[in-house]
Structure 1
Amino acid sequence: MTTNMPRPRGRPRRFDPEQAVATAQRLFHARGYDAVTVADLTEALGINPPSFYAAFGSKAVLYARTLSRYTGTEGIPLADILRPGCSVAEALSAVLEESARRYCANPAAAGCLVIEGARCNDPDARNAARALTAAAEDTIRSFIAATHPEVAGRLTDYVVTMMIGLSTMAREGHALDRLLATARLASPGIAQALRA
């Protein structure tokens, strides 16, 4: 017996949106937001520009989605490292060492996607990245302030500055051993700041 099922209208989707975000993340991370064009994205995703805009709205919106994915999969797990009751000095040192490891994990896309994105030219994309960096700063500051409120601001600035430097060095091709050595040099400074 044959049944005549109606065919779905329109063309079937040629891409998985989540896979598209992962592909875009790799492009943005490897080249930087400014260097990736919509043409690059449509080619990598196998779609045409109208389909791209229908699916994502804009390059900046897609970038914001890649940032969200990145923080959940490859970003520094601050909540796991900065747990209440942990030694502040040891936890902050662990953040820097984990930053070095993650920033070097993929030589084709070194550094931190969020930190590097905070310097891009597109104001919407830049603001999306800066919102995430501000949230990370708040997490670090709150962790320090719980036991050392008098140095929370200064020490947060120091740790974030170190993270930015590690990301930049990774982008420049510095090897993991070099980044870890740099991160470890910060430990005595962190301990001294906490004693002040």
Structure 2
Amino acid sequence: MDQPAIPRPRGRPRRFNPEAAVATAQRLFHARGYDAVSVADITAALGINPPSFYAAFGSKAGLYKQVLERYAHTGVVPFRELLRSDRPVADALAELLEQAARLYAADPETTGCLVLEGTRCIDAEAREAARNFHLAKEEALRGFIAARHPEAAGRLTSFVSTTMAGLSAMARNGYGLERLLASAEVASCAIREVLSTSEEHPS
């Protein structure tokens, strides 16, 4: 008696793992910058054709948004762990800048901050996605400082954000960890000086 035919699943089977694809794309975007990576570059790295790419991600910017989400959990400076209410503000901000310096210089192929560099890309949709991510981190930083130093929260948030952008740019331009750490230390001294003249308000 003939065996009954096993029905085949409808549709073309996926030729790639979406999570692995996003990880590969993250490295491409981080290493080259969003604007320098083409869809052809991505499909070649993933081993898929353009129709499969668009079916999976919708667009290059759509993939980039997934990359930002992944970066939030795998590559970004751990804001939540560092900005705890039980820590002195100056110590927390100093460690934030130190960890940023170390992270931005950790891998010579993916220097700097993926998000900060993305805020300067040409593509409007991708730039807006990176900026929204960055603004959310800035608001978390502002809230942490304002809980005890409300009068200094605005200027210190801007200063820390500017310092992190500078550290990212330095790393992208080839400066090593020692130079980045030195810059972070100088910035931390300035932060301590500002906070020393600010009356602390317990939360």
Q: Same fold (TM over 0.5)?
A: yes
CA–CA separation in structure 1 for the residues paired with 2:9 and 2:52:
18
Percent of aligned pairs with the same amino acid: 61
1:118 aligned partner: 119
2:73 aligned partner: 72
How many pairs does the alignment contain?
Answer: 196
Letter in 2 for 1:168: A
Question: In the TM superposition, what is the alpha-carbon distance from 1:4 to its structure 2 partner?
Answer: 2.8
Cα displacement string for residues 162-183 of structure 1 (whole angstroms, at most 9, x for unaligned residues): 0000000000111111111110
Question: In the TM superposition, what is the alpha-carbon distance from 1:3 to its structure 2 partner?
Answer: 4.6
Calculate the TM-score normalised by the size of structure 1.
Answer: 0.97
- Contact kept? 2:90, 2:188, Cα under 8 Å: yes
1:109 is paired with a residue of what secondary structure?
A: coil
2:158 aligned partner: 157
Letter in 1 for 2:60: K
| C-alpha RMSD over aligned residues | 1.1
CA–CA separation in structure 2 for the residues paired with 1:18 and 1:195:
46
1:136 aligned partner: 137
Ranges of 4+ aligned residues in structure 1 off by more than 3 Å: none
Letter in 2 for 1:80: E
2:54 aligned partner: 53
Question: In the TM superposition, what is the alpha-carbon distance from 1:195 to its structure 2 partner?
Answer: 2.3
1:189 aligned partner: 190
Question: In the TM superposition, what is the alpha-carbon distance from 1:5 to its structure 2 partner?
Answer: 1.4
Cα displacement string for residues 96-154 of structure 1 (whole angstroms, at most 9, x for unaligned residues): 00000110111101000000000000110000000011011101100000000000000
Cα displacement string for residues 32-55 of structure 1 (whole angstroms, at most 9, x for unaligned residues): 000000111111111111111111
Letter in 2 for 1:78: F
- Contact kept? 2:34, 2:118, Cα under 8 Å: yes
**Residue 180 (structure 1) aligned with residue 175 (structure 2):** no
CA–CA separation in structure 2 for the residues paired with 1:194 and 1:65:
38
- Contact kept? 2:23, 2:67, Cα under 8 Å: yes
Q: Which runs of 5+ in 2 are unaligned?
A: 198-203
Question: In the TM superposition, what is the alpha-carbon distance from 1:7 to its structure 2 partner?
Answer: 1.9
1:91 aligned partner: 92
Q: Which runs of 5+ in 1 are unaligned?
A: none
Give the alignment of 1:97-116 within 5 angstroms: 97-116=98-117
